[in-house]
Amino acid sequence: MFRDRTDAGRQLAELLDDYDVTADVVLGIPRGGLPVARAVADALGVPLDVVVASKIGAPNNPELAVGAVASDGSIWRNDDLIDRLGVDDEYVERERDSETETARTKLERYRGTDELPDVQGRRVVMVDDGLATGATTIAALRQVRAAGASHVVLAVPVGSPDAVERLRAETEEVVAVETPPHFGSVGTFYESFKQVSDEEAMSYLER
C-alpha cells in the first residue's frame, strides 16, 4: 500500500488537501510518525514539531497496552482490559508515573525542553505512521487538547477500523488513507517499515 513512511506521508497529504484541512502546525509522534509528518508539514507549508506519549504495558506483557500517558501525565486507561487482566490501580498509577517521566525525557531530547510546543488557539494536525490500538495516540491527543489547541485533526496513513472509531471520540476529525477490515499490524501495509532511530527521527525536525 505504501512504499515507505515518506510515501505514506505524501499520500496522506493529498487526502488532507482533498478534505481542505488547514493547520498552523503539524505534530508528529516519535519515532515512526516523524517521516510521515515531515511530508505532511511540507505539503501544508507549516512547521513540524512533536508530541510524545508512552505506553503502559500489562504486567508480564509490556507489549500489551493497558493504557498510555503523555509527557504532561495525560492518561488513557484501557479499562476493559485492565478489568479482564485484574490489573490493580496501584500498578497503573506506578507505571503512569514511570512512563510520564519516560515521555518527558524523550520530549526534552527532541525539543531541548520538556514543554509541549505552544498550541494555544492553534489548528493542529497530529500525525503517526498508523493506528493499531491507538493507545499512545489518545494520550497525546488529550495533552494537545488540554494545552488549548483550537482544532485538532488526527491524520494517519492506515488504521484499524476499531482504533479509528475509538479516536473519533477524542478529536474533531480523523483522516486515514486506508482502514482495512482485516488489520494485522501497521507494518504489513508498508513495503519498507524499518525501525526509525531517535537520531533519524530528529533529523526530520531539522529539515
Strand extents, DSSP E, 51-103? 53-58, 61-70, 75-77
> Sign of the C-alpha dihedral, residues 78, 83, 89, 95?
negative
Specify the fold of 5-52+113-206. Answer: Rossmann fold (3.40.50)
Report domain extents, the chain.
Answer: 5-52+113-206, 54-110
Interval 103-128: pLDDT, tens: 999 999 999 999 999 999 999 999 99
CATH node for 54-110? 3.30.1310.20
pTM passes above 0.85: yes
**Residue 1 in this model has a pLDDT that exceeds 90:** no
